[in-house]
Amino acid sequence: MNDIFERAEAIVSDAERVTQAHLRRVSLPGVTIGLITLDNGEDHTKPNTFGPAGLLSLNTAIDAALADDSVDAIAVTGKPFILAAGADLTSIQGGGPDAVRVVAELGHAVFRKLTDGGKPSFGFVNGLALGGGLEVALHCTYRTVMDSAPALGLPEVMLGLVPGWGGAWLVPNLVGADKAVTLILENPLNQGKTLGGQAAYDFGLADAVFGGADYLEQSLLWAASVVRGDVVVERAEVDRGAWDAAIARAEGIVAAKTGGGSPAAKKAVELIAAARDTDRNAGFAAEDDALHALSQTAELLASLYSFDLVQKRAKRPAGAPDTSLARPVTKVGIVGAGLMASQLALLFVRRLEVPVVLTDLDQERADKGVAYVHAEIDKLLAKGRINQDKANRHKALVSGATDKQGAFGDADFVIEAVFEEMSVKKTVFADVEKVVSPECVLATNTSSLSITEMAADLEHPERVVGFHFFNPVAVMPLLEIVRGDATDDATLATAFATGKALKKTSILVKDSPSFIVNRLLGRFMSEVGRIVDEGTPVQVADNAFAGIAPMPPFVLLSLVGPAIALHNNETLKGAFPDRFYVSPALERIVAARKGAYYGPDGALDPEVEAMLEKPESPVVLTAEEVREKTLAGLAEEARLMLDEGVVAAPQDIDLAMITGAGFSFWNGGLTFMLDVAGISEKATGRRFH
């Protein structure tokens, strides 16, 4: 055992933002608890993580608590709002497979002292707890969770890894195999879905749940009651007869989501399956072996690349003007009060906490938009995500009106969310410009139209900027910020500052048809639509992209809406007629007002099938041929976008496709995947990276 600590000290890196473990003794009636607080010395925007030095610090604190005869029990918690966000990947990525194995074994050696140390231990999950942050709590004898904790989960499979500090064995043996499949496989492969605090308690990950205001005090009192024997914790017996069904479900999820292309997902299934009949030591050793093997895969390299994009590049957007040029935003106006406009209002009021006013053609529509925002705030209150005071304050900040002059006269930022038609948007901005100050930013949520053309007839075209959100607004991280020909630096800086305040991943985009994500998805659907119209069955085309796109193309088209997809492809066909294709079948489907290709039973809708092309000499491709042909088209389009200067670098394309289109971490987004597959060179003559 000592050997692992010596090996760990040898790989401590200066790159690690060390999370220190601070021990203090808390005296309660009849009980003294050694409270260990994890803290990396940063604010809540930089979560605690575990690298070799952080794990060694925790080990020292645990040893001290175990050696202190006055300490009856140990508890581990984190700095405000954060327990820990898992492994510090940046501190070990240069060390190769050997460093990964050392850190895997070290985590097990340190965390298991909370189980085997001879004193009861408590995990106080006071906020975000991902990966190793959740696993350190799982090793404790008992756990409490803050009801408003924003995110608990084991996201490793999304990163090309597996839960490697006990999670793959502990979770199925705590809550059962089926729930383990949800937490370890299904949620990570569903764009990194996590559990909130109350949901984690309901899931069975914690033994008690407490409110946020005095969470730590309540947890300490509860822990003392458990140690004294006043409270007895009871847990449901795990149903080991349900294991085979859970593993079958897991295999189905892996096939549908990854197409068998993720070694990590396959390995996770194996670990969950083995957890039924192996003891803890064997389970932990299997995790060590799995991490060591996965550390040598292309998927992990891609994941580390993706991780770097979202952790670093996303925080320093390429081409953004100096932040000192940004003007303050003290009031926001929104033109429109439909669903998108209402989602925007909710986001702005929650993040900026400034007055937000929705306008529409009549008061009834405006009031409906305000009612939507109020209802969503009430849902957050009911879930414990916000308190009553904040709910009241946010509701009071949202209003609806029909008079733009009265509503927008003192606004600093006005965004339109009206029908995607150039003439409509130009009319809206012409009306708004008459009633706002010359410095007020005019933002458009257009998904495809020219910012330059939209601003061309205005007196101040320099203050018009593209501000394109993705649906659902509250969930999707990406914000495409589009610079028109006349957009000035102050407007652009204000847009980036606002995007940061909204907690979005902002990427600077040149004014060009459909920008980044919708242009690439448009090319994607053009290629697939042409292939299907030429004779390949829809189901074959849909099966071609498991593990590449977040969902099959015709399922994605149904989610986006056939009419919206058609409009996007018509825009792109008009701009680039030699490359983009508008499917006659899609035109018929939109004309018939069909909203989805598949029926409730999962089968292709017979009415939709009847509208598909019936070529005299059908060309039927295999799934592999569909995939290669479509990806070649995407490689060509991405190269052209870079040559045109739509974005600064391939990294921006990948960041956009990960955060705006749900492309997977373990593929590295789009261009990294195209390079690894050899498609970049075949299609364009060179690699992206």
235's torsion region: left (phi>0), alpha (psi -120 to 50) or beta? beta
Task: Judge contact between 515 and 572, C-beta under 8 A.
Answer: no
DSSP SS3 for 229: coil
Residues that are catalytic: 135, 156
DSSP 8-state secondary structure symbol assigned to residue 314: G
CA distance linking residue 112 with residue 166, whole number of Å = 9
How many C-beta atoms lie closer than 10 Å to residue 615's C-beta? Answer: 10
407-to-357, 429, 465 alpha-carbon distances in Å:
7, 14, 20
Q: In whole angstroms, how far apart are CA 220 and each of 336, 339, 390?
A: 50, 44, 27
Name which of 137, 131, 134 is nearest 303 in CA terms. Answer: 131
Plot region of 353 (φ>0 → left; ψ -120 to 50 → alpha; else → beta): left
Interatomic CA distance for residues 481 and 637, integer angstroms: 20
Contact 243, 273 (CB under 8 A): yes
Of 550, 521, 544, nearest in space to 641 by CA:
521
Rounded CA separation 183/177 (Å): 10
Strand order in the sheet with 356-359: 398-401, 356-359, 332-335, 413-416, 441-444, 464-469, 478-483, 505-510
d(CA 626, CA 585): 18
Q: Is 526 exposed, middle or buried (0-12, 13-18, 19+ CB in 10 A)?
A: buried
- Distances 90 to 17, 83, 106 between C-alpha atoms, Å: 9, 19, 17
Q: Are strands 464-469 and 478-483 parallel, antiparallel or unpaired?
A: antiparallel
Distance CA 509, CA 642 (A): 11
